[in-house]
Amino acid sequence: MLEISKKLEDVLNRALVKIFPKEDRSNKTSSILSGTKLLPASKPEFGDFQINCALPLAKEIKQPPRQIAQQIANHLQKDNDYLQICNAPIVAGPGFINISINSKTLISEIYVRLNDERLGIPLKEFSTVKKEEKNNNRVIIDFSSPNIAKEMHVGHLRSTIIGDSLARVLEFCGYEVLRINHVGDWGTQFGMLITHLKEVIPEALYTKDVVEISDLVNFYRQAKKRFDEDPVFQNKSRSEVVNLQTGHQDSLIAWQLLCNQSRKEFQKIYDRLDIKLTERGESFYNNLLVDVINDLKNKDLLINDQGAQCVFLDGFVGKDGKPQPIIIQKSDGGFNYATTDLAAIKYRLAPPPNGDGAVRLIYVTDAGQASHFFGVFQIAKLAKWIPIDCQVEHVPFGLVQGDDGKKLKTRSGETIRLVELLDEAIQRAKTDLIDRLKTESRSENESFINKVSTTVGIAAIKYADLSQNRISNYQFSFNKMLSLQGNTAPYLLYALVRIAGISRKGGDLNVESQNILFNEPQEWNLIRKLLQLDSVIAEVEKELLPNRLCGYLFELSQIFNRFYDQIPVLKANEPSRTSRLALCSITAETLKLGMNLLGIPTLERM
């Protein structure tokens, strides 16, 4: 529909220039006419688009709004480009103009989508700047990013699911996406971890694979406890940090070992969720930190505050209302989380070969880090590291809560392990499936049951997360996410399964007919919905809200179900039968593409 609305906008602008010549416009008129004038219809019965500008114009030029609307409508009707696409405009109410796309155009849009992998959506075109100077379609999405030697928690799960979906959407649009896992693999905590490791499992330094992660999380706790309680241990840990930073062989081995153990555990989750990521952890930026300090110093942005190197930003105040510094280098010479992020932003935006030369940086983390990123972005701006044509964005998300509205915990009050969360979703999907098979008197083999429950379980977890506006907190409920009713993964999967069923019953979904014809409102409704896919994807590309795509797929499934329940497909006469099969086929491809962009696996039977 994007192309159609673009053509209509051009037509409308031509008409408006004729009626209100640019040189005669008052400021107010200009501002009314410079805004968006072509809106999607507020109700389907009004058609596809609506033009409302006659109302504010009427006030300004003191003419009845309906008269203005009629004038605009008359001009549209005389324009050949308009007539090609739409039915006659209708002036309605106090002065709205309702526009509907004509059936010829709708049908030709159906032909465009038939048997086209991209469903008629072109790849974005990028201006061709020399690759050595800039990768002008390169986007970096920094997501997942758990911390070494700690367990990945539900916040990281959200980041992983949302980040992956954004990556898929931008890749589909034609961007080159670097999916960066900014793991917390550096910092003073390694001092205590390595000290503890050397003391309790000295053989770890020369024997492979002696620590396991469930141990490692526990191991972290033990090390922390000792660090908090024992001053001697504390001192050793501090010198261990220095050893690591200055590259002592055995400290590096211990560090690698801890990282490898964590990595293996993280990878298990990524494999199960089908997530691809490139690890480039905090340690990658180590030798770039000094440059950050020097650069900020040269640009007069650093202030020495009690020995620490700080940046003070306008509007950055603490709870007490006093200006709050962002510490870039601590008084002991150490660096912070923010310092690493400054080095990262600089590197990601710098042209190759000394950087990634990306044009858009996206950071997917919980909303609690909003002020951290606000600060980092501000400093990067002041330091002039962000070229004008580049965008940096924090994509925040809310907390995961349990059914009770409190932070998600196990029954015994501990943090939930992600592996167990996935297992439980799959197990519950399996129980539901077995029940359903019984009521439907179906018998299916073990491998079918396992495949379906794994797919449904994973799909449900991902979809439940993505279908919420990410900014709000989200209530985690196995019951809701696994339900076959409502805006859930099983509901969408089921629509696809129904369509696959049509094909099993003999409906050929590879429609090649040149004789497509529609006459029922259920068909037109479905077509109109199918046509919206491109604008929904464009919206997600811009606003980075995957829930918009979920909402669209849900509405599409509902409209499809109504179509399928209310009018015959396989039993219809030709050419309706083939035409309706064409709609089934495009609906299935749209759902599959949409779910693929969300990272959600699909099924033929369930």
Contact footprint for ligand ARG (CB under 6 A):
142, 145-147, 182, 184, 341, 344, 363, 365
How far apart CA 62 and CA 44 sit, in angstroms, is 31
Q: b or e along 369-389 (b: 16 or more beta carbons within 10 Å of the residue's beta carbon)?
A: beebbebbbbbbeebebbeee
φ, ψ of residue 279 to 5 degrees: the values are -80, 125
- Report the residue number, 341 or 465, with the smaller CB distance to ligand ARG: 341
- Report the residue number, 1 or 277, with the smaller CB distance to ligand ARG: 277
Q: How far is CA 582 from the centre of its chain?
A: 30
| Ramachandran class of 574: left when φ > 0, alpha when ψ lies in -120 to 50, beta otherwise | beta
Q: How far is the CB of 345 from ligand ARG (least distance, A)?
A: 8
Q: How far is the CB of 180 from ligand ARG (least distance, A)?
A: 8
- Report the residue number, 344 or 559, with the smaller CB distance to ligand ARG: 344
- Residue 279 burial by Cβ neighbours in a 10 Å radius (0-12, 13-18, 19+): middle
How far apart CA 219 and CA 241 sit, in angstroms, is 18
Q: How far is the CB of 184 from ligand ARG (least distance, A)?
A: 4
- Report the residue number, 118 or 221, with the smaller CB distance to ligand ARG: 221
Q: How far is the CB of 344 from ligand ARG (least distance, A)?
A: 6
- Report the residue number, 48 or 185, with the smaller CB distance to ligand ARG: 185
Q: How far is CA 90 from CA 49, 96, 344, in A?
A: 11, 8, 55
- Report the residue number, 5 or 159, with the smaller CB distance to ligand ARG: 159
How far apart CA 596 and CA 467 sit, in angstroms, is 14
Q: Is 448 helix (H, G, I), strand (E, B) or coil?
A: helix
- Report the residue number, 198 or 372, with the smaller CB distance to ligand ARG: 372
SS3 for 405-432 is CCECCCCCCCCCCHHHHHHHHHHHHHHH
How far apart CA 211 and CA 194 sit, in angstroms, is 13
Amino acid at 196: H
For the chain, state the CA radius of gyration.
Answer: 29
Mention every residue, 6+ apart, whose C-beta is less than 8 A from residue 154.
Answer: 400, 408, 416, 418, 421, 476
Q: How far is the CB of 282 from ligand ARG (least distance, A)?
A: 8
Contact predicate 462/157, CB 8 Å = no
Q: How far is the CB of 316 from ligand ARG (least distance, A)?
A: 18
Tell me which residue has tokens 């009690």. Answer: 306
Q: Alpha helix (H) ranges present in 150-301?
A: 154-173, 189-200, 213-229, 231-245, 249-273, 289-298
- Report the residue number, 395 or 588, with the smaller CB distance to ligand ARG: 395
How far apart CA 160 and CA 422 sit, in angstroms, is 14
- Report the residue number, 344 or 458, with the smaller CB distance to ligand ARG: 344
Contact predicate 332/282, CB 8 Å = no
Q: How far is the CB of 209 from ligand ARG (least distance, A)?
A: 25
- Report the residue number, 146 or 457, with the smaller CB distance to ligand ARG: 146
Q: How far is the CB of 468 from ligand ARG (least distance, A)?
A: 20
> Two tokens at 522?
């259920």
> Two tokens at 506?
């003999």
Residue nearest to ligand ARG (CB): 145
φ, ψ of residue 219 to 5 degrees: the values are -60, -40
Q: How far is the CB of 288 from ligand ARG (least distance, A)?
A: 14
Other beta carbons less than 10 A from residue 604's beta carbon: 12
- Report the residue number, 182 or 580, with the smaller CB distance to ligand ARG: 182
Q: How far is the CB of 553 from ligand ARG (least distance, A)?
A: 29
Q: How far is the CB of 431 from ligand ARG (least distance, A)?
A: 33
